[in-house]
Amino acid sequence: MVIDYHDPRFPYNNIEHLVTTEFRYKTKRQGFIRTLYEVERGHKNPLTYDITHALKAHPTARVAIVTGIVFPPHLPKGEVDGTCGAAALARALEMVGHQVDVLVETEMENIMRALIKRVAVKANLVSTSNRSSAEVRTWADRYDIAVTIEKLGRNHAGVRHSTGATPLPSGDSYIDDLILEMNARNKMTIGIGDGGNEIGFGKIHDHVRQLIAFGDTIPTVTPTRYLLPANVSNIGAYALTAAMALTFGNSKLLLDGATIGQMIKDAIAEGALDGGTANPNFYGDDGIPGEFIEKIVDLLGAIVSQWNVEFKRPF
């Protein structure tokens, strides 16, 4: 086999190796994300390579970013995971010419408003509360692209579940129908998740069912055209912005670790909880301390930066 040592797909590979490396605490279920990633990728291009080139082929699109889950009393205003990634991705998409709406339940609007302000984007907020399946299906007229980040999807019985198999009987479960309608219209849909119960994993449902705990209960059946499994859904969104920086040739699409760290603090200040611990005093995301999240984000930036460096040593 002949290797092309300058294959432009290499940095996308590196991004995906990083964000499918698990940093979960000991008692949290782990050991499946890399396998799910490999199932989805197969022997094809890096996932972020294909997704970002598809985005580039759809200039000036109207994009819906859907995130968040409200689950009182455990997550009365949602969790950190999903929200920060939505704001970071909205910023990158706006910078390349897309019009972005961020779709969340009403209880999470203050969190998203604070994050949007932090990164200075124009994204509109759309409430997904008190809607219906019929109404959200009509939203497929409005959007060209939909991205779901840490958005739980319905299982085979039409119920959403936490990774611990706790059913979520209330909330905006009808939002799956927006994605299904966009799929039916052959519009671009992207799912980013970390547990197998998020919208998008329906694309590889049988594999999820076999690999994760509570596999007969929690896997979603809702697919997306593109699926990006990651160690944390927010980190998957940061990976996508890093890949966009490569594809669009604009390193300014990236945020640095310190900014992401401040965004996590903003989300917590507005009532979001870390989904891994549900501890309001924990600074982090999905049980990973914030300082480690910052380092991961900066490593993503380093992958992009290093790919843009050219140097010929004199020997």
Cα 142 from Cα 304, distance rounded (Å): 33
Tell whether the model's pLDDT for residue 5 goes beyond 80: no
Burial 248-283 (b: 16+ CB within 10 A, else e): beeeebbbebeebbbbbebbbebebbbbbeeeeebe
pLDDT for position 6: 83
pLDDT for position 1: 59
Q: Please report, for the chain, how many H helices and E strands are present, in that order.
A: 11, 10
Contacts with 52 (C-beta within 8 Å, 6 or more apart), sequence order: 240, 243, 244, 246, 247, 248
Q: Which residue has the tokens 């890093």?
A: 242
Tell whether the model's pLDDT for residue 270 goes beyond 80: yes
Cα 265 from Cα 290, distance rounded (Å): 9
Question: Could you report the per-residue pLDDT of 59-94, keeping only the tens digit for each?
Answer: 999 999 999 999 999 999 999 999 999 999 999 999
The H or E element that residue 56 is part of is helix 47-56
Neighbours of 83 (CB within 10 A): 32
| Structure token pair of residue 299 | 């490593």
* 308 against 241, higher pLDDT: 241
Q: Which residue has the tokens 């009182």?
A: 72
Q: Which residue type, as a one-letter code, is found at position 167?
A: P
Q: Is residue 269 part of a domain?
A: yes
CATH of the domain at 129: 3.90.1640.20
pLDDT for position 4: 79
Question: Could you report the per-residue pLDDT of 282-300, keeping only the tens digit for each?
Answer: 999 999 999 999 999 999 9
Q: Is residue 4 part of a domain?
A: no
Q: Is residue 300 part of a domain?
A: yes
Q: Is residue 247 part of a domain?
A: yes
Q: What is the CA radius of gyration of the chain?
A: 18
Q: Which residue type, as a one-letter code, is found at position 257?
A: G
pLDDT for position 293: 97
Cα 151 from Cα 104, distance rounded (Å): 10
Cα 269 from Cα 266, distance rounded (Å): 5
| Distance from the Cα of residue 307 to its chain's centroid | 24
pTM (2 decimals)? 0.97
Tell whether the model's pLDDT for residue 170 goes beyond 90: no
Q: Is residue 315 part of a domain?
A: no
Cα 71 from Cα 298, distance rounded (Å): 32
What is the DSSP pairing of strand 160-161 with strand 226-229? Answer: unpaired
Name the percent of the chain lying above pLDDT 70.
Answer: 99
| Distance from the Cα of residue 18 to its chain's centroid | 15
Domain that holds residue 77: 10-307
The H or E element that residue 242 is part of is helix 233-247
Q: At 28, is the pLDDT very low, low, confident or very high (cuts 50, 70, 90)? A: confident
| Structure token pair of residue 200 | 């998008």
Q: Is residue 49 part of a domain?
A: yes
Q: Is residue 5 part of a domain?
A: no
Question: Could you report the per-residue pLDDT of 199-208, keeping only the tens digit for each?
Answer: 999 999 999 9
Q: Which one, of 101, 102, 106, lies nearest residue 76 by Cα?
A: 106
Question: Could you report the per-residue pLDDT of 113-164, keeping only the tens digit for each?
Answer: 999 999 999 999 999 999 999 999 999 999 999 999 999 999 999 999 999 9
Tell whether the model's pLDDT for residue 2 goes beyond 80: no
| Structure token pair of residue 280 | 């309001």
Tell whether the model's pLDDT for residue 269 goes beyond 90: yes
Question: Could you report the per-residue pLDDT of 224-261, keeping only the tens digit for each?
Answer: 999 999 999 999 999 999 999 999 999 999 999 999 99
Q: Which one, of 76, 123, 77, 74, lies nearest residue 103 by Cα?
A: 123
Mean pLDDT of the chain: 96
Q: Is residue 68 part of a domain?
A: yes
Counting the structural domains of the chain, the total is 1
Q: At 311, is the pLDDT very low, low, confident or very high (cuts 50, 70, 90)? A: confident
